[in-house]
Structure 1
Amino acid sequence: MRRLERLRRLAWVATQSEGSAVTLSDDGGPSDTPPVLTHDDGVIAIDTLTAGMTDVTAGYLIDAPRPALIECGPALTIGSVLQGLAALGLGPSDLAYLVLTHIHLDHAGGAGDVAAAFPNATVVVSEHGARHLAEPDRLNASSARVYGPLFDTVYGACTPVPAERLRSIADRDELDLGAGRVLELLHTPGHAKHHLGVVDPDIGAVFSGDSVGVQLPGMTELRPATPPPEFHLEAALRSLDRYRERSPGRIYLAHYGPVDPADAVLDQAEEQLRRWVEVAELARDEAHTLGLSGTHELDHVAETLQQRFHVRRQPSAEADDVAEDDARLRMLNDTRANAAGLLRYLHRRDTGELTELG
């Protein structure tokens, strides 16, 4: 009862100040918990405060008889998410599910900590990624190589989730939240082999992780997320089609927030994926003509993508905001990392090494 009453109060306050973040202390006043915002469909966004910044990665709480948190963010800032859940009135026995769209550390790094804080919660993850949460040594080692210094300063190591607390999801599995509310879980590779899309038919929403792309506040268009080693254009496009088949009205991006109408968002996501691959392929071929290889080839492709795809922002964006947004984007969606993923995809495509998943 206490949890539900606080959620109702939070939802009421959010409707009085549309688009603003609201947190509550025990007496209903402001607190130092992370930004929490209830959207008009009842989805509650909790800012994970990744890297100490707002508007980087969101966790989404679905309030139901068996509440579900979709995404938890990295281990280093999981305390912020736990504070947000506590501010909403969730006690240790209240959270039923932690649903992870994929096991990259900016989405799932804090999973073991959430499992420890909520001993009744089941951690829901693709069957292709579950073992890496139970035994995360390989995940942490590969993440440290990919992230470099950011592994220690932004993400931190993923702590293990006990195997008995994991639910490995196959394509089209369902998650029963009670009172007739069911989430459909789709296998949506392209960004990663172990990616899931979460469909909530009750509100007509898709929680897309990184499968649709990145659009931080102030940006006017999506950017694809094409990191190595598993980016796969054809799989990514099939995943977008699977979302279209569900006819959602809204897409919830992990980075960052809701975007709609969904059909236009999915069309833009497809267009951007195709354009980025096309430009990367032309730049790669040009690099070969110039005799460039290795890091020089990557530099050329990254520079070409950077020049071709400028970040478009709202006209009202101020200089300080732009600088902060650039820092967020470099961390989340660095052009060089995208270029590396595109080059790996092109090589594997051209040599016949691609599998159906990546």
Structure 2
Amino acid sequence: MAIGDVREVTAGDCSDLYYLDTGMYDTSEYGAVYVLDDDRPAVVDTGIGTNYDLLRDALDEVGIAQDDLEVIALTHVHLDHAGGAGFLAADYPNADVYVPALGADHMADPSRLVAGTKNAVGEQWEYYVEPEPIPEERIVEIEDGDTIDLGTHDLRAHEAPGHAPHQVVFEDLANDAVFVADAAGIWVPETEQIRETSPPSNFDLEQCLADLETLAELDPNVFCYPHFGPRYIGDDVEGALEEYATVLEEWVDAVAAKRRELADDETVVDHFAEAAEMDDVWGEEKSSAEARLNTRGVLGYLDHRE
């Protein structure tokens, strides 16, 4: 799938659902935004905002006019998911922004979020844009169990705070699908493998594993990954989630072991950046940056656990 492509989700029994490759970090098949074309059309997550024009083009292609979009649903407020929300809200005047309550303040005033992101991503900030604040009257705070009525489809929020305390996943019962945010890892369609995501500063292994139990209870046929794309799970939800649990546990164990060996955190980060395994898929720069981010998140988690 190429940057800017819009495709209908045909996995399982999905209908009225499309996804866009936003070209996040100038990398194809890394960042996806989903569009539900219903009585109340919705966008699920918005990407960084850097390639915002691609999202506008995608809505045009699906047939959703500026006055028709009603819902901008954010799984969490990390800028790779919520950075484009302010631009979208400004251009689509009838759309409210539905955001987990713990992150709502960051949408009205993103200054602290920007500072934290710059600190976390380092040189990768060159791929971001400063987000636009969203007027408070356009923000709808959501909690665990809340439902966003779109017409044929509903988006039901389930808290999933392992990746970030302000994260939810959205269950779409009509499509037997879940928009999994970062709770189920990073899906790499080219290699059909699942990768860890453990960024600072709120990664929590035990809570991430608990979030996988939440997803197992929902038992959908389709996972819609923001990183990247729809994945048909069918009857093997437990197998897919057990696979990711193993990936996470082995990843945390590897970082902990290397820290014991090297006794210097920056050397540990450098080690995993140099040993990154995704160069052939994401390119050397993104692969290395991803490894640095995830290693720092685990090191912070280990400090907190100790």
TM-score if structure 1 supplies the norm length? 0.78
Q: Can you list the C-alpha shifts for 1:265-319, whole angstroms capped at 9, x where unaligned?
A: 21211111111112222222222xxxx324234435x269x37xx45xxxxxxxx
Taking the aligned partners of 1:298 and 1:154, their CA distance within structure 2 comes to 21
Residue pair 2:22, 2:32 contacting (<8 A) in 1 also:
yes
Equivalence for 1:276: 251
1:342 maps to 2:298: yes
Equivalence for 2:149: 176
Letter in 2 for 1:44: Y
Residue pair 2:162, 2:207 contacting (<8 A) in 1 also:
yes
Return closer, same or farther for 1:52/1:296 CA change in 2, 3 Å cut-off.
Answer: closer
SS of aligned partner of 2:187: coil
Equivalence for 1:166: 139
User: 118, 128, 137: which is aligned to 1:155?
Assistant: 128
Taking the aligned partners of 1:189 and 1:94, their CA distance within structure 2 comes to 32
Q: Can you list the C-alpha shifts for 1:239-265, whole angstroms capped at 9, x where unaligned?
A: 111111111111111111112313332
Q: Which has the larger radius of gyration?
A: 1
User: 209, 230, 236: which is aligned to 1:237?
Assistant: 209
Equivalence for 2:283: 326
Equivalence for 1:37: 7
SS of aligned partner of 2:175: coil
Letter in 1 for 2:150: L
Q: CA deviation at 1:328?
A: 7.5
Q: Can you list the C-alpha shifts for 1:136-167, whole angstroms capped at 9, x where unaligned?
A: 1111122122223332x311111101111111
Q: Can you list the C-alpha shifts for 1:40-81, whole angstroms capped at 9, x where unaligned?
A: 212201221223443221111112111111111112211110
User: 125, 143, 148: which is aligned to 2:117?
Assistant: 143
**Sequence identity, in percent?**
32
Q: CA deviation at 1:87?
A: 2.1
User: 163, 182, 190: which is aligned to 2:162?
Assistant: 190
Taking the aligned partners of 1:146 and 1:241, their CA distance within structure 2 comes to 28
TM-score if structure 2 supplies the norm length? 0.91
Unmatched segments (≥5 aa) in structure 2? none
Taking the aligned partners of 2:175 and 2:124, their CA distance within structure 1 comes to 36
User: 262, 265, 278: which is aligned to 2:240?
Assistant: 265
Taking the aligned partners of 1:54 and 1:278, their CA distance within structure 2 comes to 30
Taking the aligned partners of 1:303 and 1:149, their CA distance within structure 2 comes to 14
Taking the aligned partners of 1:127 and 1:253, their CA distance within structure 2 comes to 22
Give the alignment of 1:70-81 within 5 angstroms: 70-81=44-55
Taking the aligned partners of 2:284 and 2:72, their CA distance within structure 1 comes to 28
Residue pair 1:48, 1:81 contacting (<8 A) in 2 also:
yes
Q: CA deviation at 1:114?
A: 0.4
Unmatched segments (≥5 aa) in structure 1? 1-19, 22-32, 312-321, 351-358
SS of aligned partner of 1:266: helix
State the aligned residue count.
299
Q: CA deviation at 1:121?
A: 0.6
